[in-house]
């Protein structure tokens, strides 16, 4: 406790509690990425103490509390009467409900916070987010469209390009959308800018695009990024030179004479 209080030199105790809990909050639901949130929530639950029991509460329901006969009457056991294992499961049931509620934005929370059983709460959120199969099809169509239109952004490094592509493919995999490995690899390579064309050709010769993954392609290309940048700089210089020559050829001769005389007073006399 003393070590916590000593932090009061920089933060109040309340601020310390907020900071210490910041990394322990479950992921917040993004309504457009429900399946991604669901996967991250499951990982978050498994990473808690007794994580497997918490997740089982969500998937299969809470502890069925045992009963006891007392004076000829059968009643449900009180918490204090449960066995050690049963108490842990009862605690996990409560933790599961709290974790889900903490991961919901306010508008969704207000629709489901009356549920106290984690399994019911989990299924209700899924129903609200996924809705009909038509909603899922719409999301898949958007992902296919994003895949088709994916391209390199000017000035973007190879690593930044790779991270954006990885995020897109991760969303595709979450929705279990069917894409051939060859299709994904080809898209990754062919969407790179012109300075990569030589190295893209090289990687196609040394890698089997049917069996390799784009992580391996990225690792290979990363070795040549310096050379690709040199090619880009040379190409930009050549384009600038050609643009300068073309501009000079389009300038009327009398305009150059006028400019010279304007800049040299002796020619004006």
pLDDT digits (tens, 9 = 90+) for 51-107: 999 999 999 999 999 999 988 899 999 999 999 999 999 999 999 999 999 999 999
Q: What is the pLDDT of residues 188-224, one digit of tens each?
A: 999 999 999 999 999 999 999 999 999 999 999 999 9
Q: Are residues 125 and 169 in the same domain?
A: no
Q: Quote the pLDDT of residue 242.
A: 59
Q: Are residues 114 and 29 in the same domain?
A: yes
Q: Are residues 89 and 195 in the same domain?
A: no
Q: Are residues 13 and 120 in the same domain?
A: yes
What's the number of domains the chain is made of? Answer: 3
Q: Are residues 15 and 70 in the same domain?
A: yes
Pick the last residue of a domain from 97, 130, 163. 130
Which strand (E) or helix (H) includes residue 203? helix 197-206
Pick the last residue of a domain from 104, 130, 156. 130
Give the CA distances from residue 17 to residues 12, 101, 228, 238, in Å, rounded to whole numbers and listed in that order.
Answer: 9, 20, 49, 59
Q: Are residues 116 and 138 in the same domain?
A: no
Q: Are residues 22 and 8 in the same domain?
A: yes
CA distance 153 to 151: 6
Give the CA distances from residue 149 to residues 74, 85, 152, 155, 188, in Å, rounded to whole numbers and listed in that order.
Answer: 66, 53, 10, 18, 12
| Angle between helical axes of 34-46 and 158-174 (0-180°, round to 10) | 90
Q: Are residues 59 and 83 in the same domain?
A: yes
Show the domain range for 97.
2-130
Q: Are residues 82 and 182 in the same domain?
A: no
Q: Are residues 25 and 121 in the same domain?
A: yes
Q: Are residues 124 and 50 in the same domain?
A: yes
CA distance 22 to 25: 6
Look up the pTM and report it.
0.49
Q: Quote the pLDDT of residue 123.
A: 92
Pick the last residue of a domain from 130, 152, 174. 130
Rounded to a whole number of angstroms, the distance between the first and last alpha carbons of the chain is: 92
Percent of the residues in the chain that have a pLDDT greater than 90, as a whole number: 59
DSSP bridge partners of 226: none
DSSP, residue by residue, 213-268 = -HHHHHHHHHTTHHHHHHHHHHHHHHHHHHHHHHHHHHS-HHHHHHHHHHH-HHHH
Which pair of tokens denotes residue 3?
């070590």
Q: Is 207 exposed, middle or buried (0-12, 13-18, 19+ CB in 10 A)?
A: middle
Q: Are residues 12 and 72 in the same domain?
A: yes
């Amino acid at each position: 406790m003393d070590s916590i209080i000593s932090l009061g030199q920089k933060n109040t105790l309340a601020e310390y509690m907020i900071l210490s809990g910041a990394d322990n909050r479950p992921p917040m639901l993004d309504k457009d990425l429900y399946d991604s949130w669901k996967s991250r929530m499951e990982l978050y639950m498994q990473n808690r103490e007794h994580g497997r029991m918490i997740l089982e509460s969500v998937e299969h329901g809470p502890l069925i509390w045992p009963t006891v006969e007392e004076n000829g009457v059968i009643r449900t056991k009180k918490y204090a009467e449960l066995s050690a294992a049963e108490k842990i499961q009862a605690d996990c049931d409560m933790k599961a409900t709290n974790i889900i509620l903490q991961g919901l934005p306010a508008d969704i929370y207000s629709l489901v916070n009356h549920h106290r059983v984690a399994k019911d709460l989990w299924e209700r959120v899924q129903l609200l987010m996924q809705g009909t199969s038509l909603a899922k099809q719409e999301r898949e169509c958007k992902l296919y469209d994003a895949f088709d239109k994916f391209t390199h952004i000017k000035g973007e490094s190879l690593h930044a390009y790779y991270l954006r592509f990885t995020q897109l493919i991760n969303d595709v995999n979450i929705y279990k959308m069917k894409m051939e490995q060859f299709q994904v690899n080809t898209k990754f390579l062919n969407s790179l800018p012109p300075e990569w064309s030589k190295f893209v050709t090289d990687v196609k010769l040394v890698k089997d695009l049917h069996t390799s993954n784009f992580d391996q392609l990225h690792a290979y290309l990363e070795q040549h990024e310096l050379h690709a940048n040199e090619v880009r700089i040379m190409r930009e210089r050549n384009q600038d030179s050609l643009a300068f020559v073309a501009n000079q050829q389009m300038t009327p001769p009398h305009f150059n004479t006028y400019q010279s005389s304007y800049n040299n007073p002796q020619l004006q006399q």
